[in-house]
Amino acid sequence: MSFFKKLKEKVTKQTDTVTEKFKDGLTKTRDNFSNKVNDLVSRYRKVDEEFFEELEEILIQADVGFDTVMELVEELRREVKRKNIQDPREVQAVISEKLVEIYEGAGEVSTELNIQPDGLTVILFVGVNGVGKTTTIGKLAHKFKNEGKSVLLAAGDTFRAGAIEQLEVWGERVGVDVIKQGAGSDPAAVMFDAVQSAKSRKADILICDTAGRLQNKVNLMKELEKVKRVIEREVPGAPHEVLLVLDATTGQNAMIQAKTFKEATDVSGIVLTKLDGTAKGGIVLAIRNELEIPVKFVGLGEKMDDLQEFNAEQYVYGLFADVVEKEAEEEEE
């Protein structure tokens, strides 16, 4: 059975809704990336050095990241040689297979959230302003609430004008209380109040917003450390997740942000927003491979339920949906 047929079977075992969301959400990247790969495959009669060089360019343009592209193409060269592949069309399935391998092979890390079965789970959100942090917090609160969990939000971004109000709007929309203090107050004090409140209400999940001013990196990082210390003191072992929100449309800039935050705090997972708004969805692979941090959620649209748990197979299916469908159908005939 070909890789494409196996991939189709795997994704159809999951819900159709999820498959459709990944397929629709990755339309721009698919149109950019897969169409170029299709064009490349149709123009070449044999797999030679020129073919690999063009493929490198296509991958770099999709923001897969230079180091990741070099590794991937080297792997493809080896695989093509090993399997003695002459027909460029056969390389498409190998590319897809290697993309899944890159994601799953960069150290075994779970993409599931570290939710505590008993007691309070504290999730800390970090990231620069404008990446969609507050919106993501709102959508995640909505997801937990739908699962029957009691949720509280902490308005820890006390510096950005309107940040507290923005979180309150989401709180109202989702039906979740927001613990806050006045603008300009100490974020660590807000976290202390929020943890006390979450404990007294026996809440399941506390989601904490934080400031995102990267201009003054040292102060921001000190502030994050202080916030973490307060949380840890009140809830041993917390925060259970530190989720870094990145905007997929900023491409390599998102990588720079990820490196900065990784230096300052123990980022346990990435939330990649606006993946549906970029033609460079290869950034998912660059982050996973070069930073070894799992992408735990992706934003695939504006709706409340468009924040989806990341799944490597669904992602690769989304990238190659048209080819996967075509190949799987041909194999069945």
Listing DSSP states for 172-228 in one string gives HHHT-EEE---TTS-HHHHHHHHHHHHHHTT-SEEEE------TTHHHHHHHHHHHH
Contact 136, 269 (CB under 8 A): no
**128 assigned to a ligand binding site:** yes
154, two tokens: 């902490």
C-alpha to C-alpha distances, 50 to 59, 88, 162, nearest whole angstrom: 14, 12, 53
111 annotated as belonging to a binding site for a ligand: no
Flag whether 184 is marked binding.
no
Element (H, E) at 88: helix 88-105
229 is written with which tokens? 């210390």
> Is 67 known as a binding-site position?
no
Q: Any known ligand binding at 274?
A: yes
Find out whether 212 is annotated in a ligand binding site.
yes
Which residues, 6+ apart, have CB-to-CB distance to 18 below 8 Å? 308, 311, 314
130 is in an annotated binding site: yes
| Residue 94 labeled ligand binder | no
- Backbone φ and ψ of 266, nearest 5°: -80, 85
Q: Is 17 annotated as a binding residue?
A: no
Structure tokens at 172: 């109202």
Residue 276 assigned ligand-binding role: yes
Q: Is 253 annotated as a binding residue?
A: no
> 213 among the known binding-site residues?
yes
Find out whether 209 is annotated in a ligand binding site: yes
Please state, in angstroms and as integers, the Cα–Cα distance from residue 234 to each residue in 21, 200, 202, 242, following that order: 39, 12, 14, 16
Residues at the annotated binding site for GTP? 127-134, 209-213, 273-276
Residues at the annotated binding site? 127-134, 209-213, 273-276
